[in-house]
Amino acid sequence: MPERIRRQRMAACLVMISGVLASCSSGTSAVTDNAASCVSPTLTASDVSVRAGSSVTVTGHWFVRECHDVVTNGQPVSPNAPIGAVALILKTHTGQVFTLGEVHPDNAGSFITGVKIPRTAESGPATISSQNAVGKDALGMDAKITIGP
């Protein structure tokens, strides 16, 4: 390989590596959601198979605004604070969407609540998901259920 081409490739690699290292070493972080190293919020349903019109208990964990490992302006943030309000949303396999209610996580970012599956929800696979009730941003992992007739 000609020396000139090898030097050009080497220079391009060094530029790319410098950019990656610079982005990794930036001194401040203004994270508004969970950092990549944080545990994502999770939802679980007490029953995986429910009938339309019946109730199911939904449990949520890790609904916090920031993680302990977040640093802002070189300083660690205060201990985790729960997200103020979380909306629970039912989505059926046919595209129906129902708001099941709003919950307020405790100081640890957890909650347990009962929700009623609407009578008009179509039978089949569905998910119960969570959104930040204020910004409507999706949060964490969904609970998968099956709605029976």
- 8: enclosing H helix or E strand: helix 3-24
Prediction pTM value: 0.69
The total domain count for the chain is 1
Of 3-12, 46-55, 62-71, 112-121, give the lowest mean pLDDT range.
3-12
User: Which token pair is 34?
Assistant: 């969970």
Q: What is the pLDDT of residues 66-77, one digit of tens each?
A: 766 666 677 666
Domain with residue 16: its CATH number is: 2.60.40.1930
Q: What is the pLDDT of residues 102-124, one digit of tens each?
A: 999 999 899 999 999 999 999 99
State how far the Cα of 6 lies from the Cα of 4, in Å rounded to an integer: 5
Q: Which residues form the domain of 133?
A: 3-148
Q: Which long-range contacts (CB under 8 A, 24 or more apart) does 142-146 make?
A: 142/43, 143/43, 143/44, 143/45, 143/58, 144/45, 144/48, 145/45, 145/47, 145/48, 145/49, 145/50, 145/56, 146/48, 146/49, 146/50
